[in-house]
Amino acid sequence: MEGKVSVLLKRVGKMEPANVEEYKSLGGFEALEKAVKKMTKQEILDEVDKGVLLGRGGAAYPAGRKWKQMMAIEGDPKYIVCNGDEGEPGTFKDRELLSKTPLSVIEGMIIAGYVFSAKKGVIYIRGEYREIQKTFQVALDNARKAGYLGENIMGVEGFNYDIVIVSGAGAYVCGENSALLNSIEGKSGRPRVKPPHLAEVGLYSKPTLVNNVESFASIPVIIAEGGDAFRNYGVETSGGTKLICLSGHAKNKGVYEIGLGTSLYDILYSEEFGGGTASGRPIKFVHFGGQSGPIGFPEQFNVPYDHTSLKNVGLSVGSGAIVVMDDTVSLVEYCKKVIEFFVHESCGKCNPCRIGSERMLDLLNKFLDGTAVEGDIERLEELGNMIKLTAACGLGQTINTALNCCLKHSRYEFEALIKKNDVWE
């Protein structure tokens, strides 16, 4: 289904976000009732699989596959963890769900709790969303009062499950799922070496399902409407709707819900969405999916916005961030900002990322202060590739994604800043 849709956000503005009665009057908790009273656990897993829900946190791992893998793992207790860290720059869509329709996220987490017979769910919400944490807590309390959390949920004996909020403290790397679990456990928020996978050795070393806020919010839609109907909001290889975040120099900034497969060109240029740039100047480039994502240029924009189509032209959906830049922005300056971010956010666990990111920044600074020499572009490329290959987590492994896109497309912008070895100087 192309264009703007209202599926995950369908109740927004029509009810008090944390009010259970209003939520129910708009079809809320029907999916949970259906899952618990009319479906087997295998049927629930099959529907999630059919929906082709690719994880909305950035890595796009199929939720159906993750849920089935989790089901196959023995162990007790099992934990459900919702990743609401939302640290990826340019990403502000989980905020929309957490603040405006928190009960949808809670319903998705309860369905997961039921499927995996978990007793405890944890939602990790970034510390900067202090006010949203309060709203979410009220929604949890109301759900508990209404019998959707706690003991013998909905009168089903032995269905005991509750959810707590854990607050993040401002580190980007804590959005990485294993660092997030360490942070919940009260340890230093650094990624773990994988394998073992979190489905086997997760929170407190127990089997753990980690999904993003938007992924959980999609679960009630899949159960209520069926996996096929959910997939049909998107395309065959990438089902459902997606919340996208337009920012930077876009004229109409904000969060939009679209059917996956909507034209990227329309998203960027049509008045219904981004509307081009606020300055009226041409779009020079667009950064997709956060700092770890690729940068795209206008000749790549004539594609549908879905995981497969974007991948085919070297772009990605990632978290849903779409940062638009007009032609006043220097690519070299922009890359410097990206690397500065990684230097700041590197957790320091592995040397290539901790030290290498700083050396990348040193090299980029040379281009900007006029001291770059022949070979510096190659040194930058080599260093970025080395970090990517040797880093322990997704942060270091994506450090050069944006830079490589810029070098591939507009190497001349970097070359133009190289000091020439002029013998007559």
Residue 191 engages ligand SF4 in binding (rule: CB under 6 A) = yes
Q: What does each C-alpha distance from 228 to 31, 68, 119, 207, 221 come to in angstroms?
A: 15, 18, 30, 29, 11
Span from 124-132, 229-237, 330-338, 347-355 in contact with ligand SF4 (CB under 6 A):
347-355
350, interface contact from ligand SF4, ligand FMN, none, CB < 5-8 Å by kind: ligand SF4
Q: Of the two residues 212 and 309, which places its CB atom closer to ligand FMN in the complex?
A: 212
- Contacts with ligand FMN by CB under 6 A lie at 55-59, 61, 83, 85-88, 172-173, 175-177, 210-212, 215, 393-395
Q: Which of 66, 231, 349, 366 touches ligand SF4 by CB under 6 A?
A: 349
C-alpha–C-alpha distance, residues 181 and 166, integer Å: 10
**What does the block give as tokens for 85?**
């860290």
86, interface contact from ligand FMN, ligand SF4, none, CB < 5-8 Å by kind: ligand FMN
Output DSSP code: residue 418. S
Q: How many CB atoms lie within 10 A of CB 38?
A: 9
| Residues 239, 232 contacting (CB under 8 angstroms) | yes
Q: Of the two residues 25 and 351, which places its CB atom closer to ligand SF4 in the complex?
A: 351
58, interface contact from ligand FMN, ligand SF4, none, CB < 5-8 Å by kind: ligand FMN
Q: What does each C-alpha distance from 405 to 101, 315, 332 come to in angstroms?
A: 36, 9, 12
Residue 354 engages ligand SF4 in binding (rule: CB under 6 A) = yes
Q: Of the two residues 210 and 264, which places its CB atom closer to ligand FMN in the complex?
A: 210
**What does the block give as tokens for 162?**
């509750």
283-302 binders of ligand SF4 (CB under 6 A): none
Whether the link from the prior residue into 77 is cis, omega within 30° of 0, is yes
Contacts of 320 (CB under 8 A, 6+ apart): 56, 91, 93, 214, 242, 243, 244, 245, 289
Span from 3-11, 180-188, 267-275, 385-393 in contact with ligand SF4 (CB under 6 A):
385-393
Residue 338 engages ligand SF4 in binding (rule: CB under 6 A) = no
Residue 17 engages ligand SF4 in binding (rule: CB under 6 A) = no
Contacts of 224 (CB under 8 A, 6+ apart): 27, 30, 31, 34
Closest approach, Cβ 52 to ligand FMN, in A, equals 13
163-182 binders of ligand SF4 (CB under 6 A): 173
C-alpha–C-alpha distance, residues 294 and 318, integer Å: 9
346, interface contact from ligand SF4, ligand FMN, none, CB < 5-8 Å by kind: ligand SF4
Contacts of 227 (CB under 8 A, 6+ apart): 46, 47, 48, 49, 50, 51, 52, 239
147, interface contact from ligand SF4, ligand FMN, none, CB < 5-8 Å by kind: none
> Rule CB under 6 A: which residues touch ligand SF4?
173, 190-191, 346-350, 353-354, 391-393, 395-396
